Amino acid sequence: MTLATLSDVLHPAKAHGYAVAGLVTLGWEDMRAYVAAAEAENCAVILQAGPSCREHTPLPVLGKMFRHLAEAAHVPVVAHLDHGYTYDDCAQAVDCGFTSVMYDGSRKPLNDNIKETRKIADLAHAAGISCEGEIGFVGYADGESSAGTDPEDAAIFARETEVDAMAISVGNVHLQQDKQGGLDEARIATIQALTDVPLVIHGGSGVPVEQRQRLARSTNICKFNIGTELRMVFGEALRTAIGKDHARFDRVAILKDVHDPIEQAARSVLATMKG
């Protein structure tokens, strides 16, 4: 059994200069391919259940799926709740066997975010699992704009919440389909100078691969969340699988054709970060 907490995989990453990928899952096909990729690359992986995933599949089911995959894997696998927006979201994930919860209070005033995140961190730690918080709102491509992380606020947040990992807003954007942007390395350096908590980048798909790779090795960024670029691979692979024979109708047969492209794409992502 290689079920791990977020702390289990991030502390070695921080100590040895690499990062762990938080791969956003939407269903069995991608989460299974992600674990296969991690085994092929011989590295840890974080399986993430975000809001859209939870809308499609109930948390109790996702918890069992994540744990089933982890228990059969020979590499560490974290079962992570991504963007829990309420205490109840996080408490349910704890009850469903998740080994890490992320509470997103980034839209709230600093004091409210600290108070609520600390409550959830205490809940997680009492259950023997990890908690990720977010300070500074990470926006969405063609949607809400980001509010960059204030380094002084980040230091206060890390100290008062006692989170195991801290997501920051430093030029990253959710759902970006290209890599034309880049992270604010000066702001990252200032944050890192004020706190040594492991740092997390949401919207990692939009970060240029070279920068992602370099920052994984040279900073306290220990986790990059990757979703959009792998979703794009899934969509293209599915279109190809259906298009090669329009008479096909068996869902299982079609989805089997999607596995290898997703695994290969996930391996490429993991290879850029691992130690």
pLDDT at 175: 67
Strand locations in 14-170, DSSP E? 20-25, 45-49, 77-84, 100-103, 130-135, 165-168
Domains contained in the chain, number: 1
Query: Alpha-carbon distance 75 to 70, whole Å?
Result: 8
Which CATH number belongs to the domain containing residue 47 in this structure?
3.20.20.70
pLDDT at 178: 79
pLDDT at 177: 75
Cite the DSSP H helix spans in 17-58.
28-41, 51-56
> pTM of the predicted model, to two decimals?
0.96
103 φ, ψ (degrees, to nearest 5): -100, 125
Instruction: Please choose, from the candidates 221, 228, 233, the residue with its C-alpha nearest in 3D space to the C-alpha of residue 273.
Output: 221
Q: Which residue has the tokens 């299974």?
A: 32
Angle between helices 28-41 and 59-72 (to 10 degrees): 30
82 counts as catalytic = yes
Helix (H/G/I), strand (E/B), else coil: 3: strand
**Angle of CA points 65, 69, 71, to nearest 5°:** 115
Domain extent, residue 97, equals 3-271
User: Looking at 82, 104, 150, 164, which residue is catalytic?
Assistant: 82
pLDDT at 83: 96
pLDDT at 275: 67
What is the signed CA dihedral for 78, 81, 83, 89, rounded to 10 degrees? Answer: -160
Helix (H/G/I), strand (E/B), else coil: 135: strand
Low-confidence ranges of the chain (pLDDT < 50): none
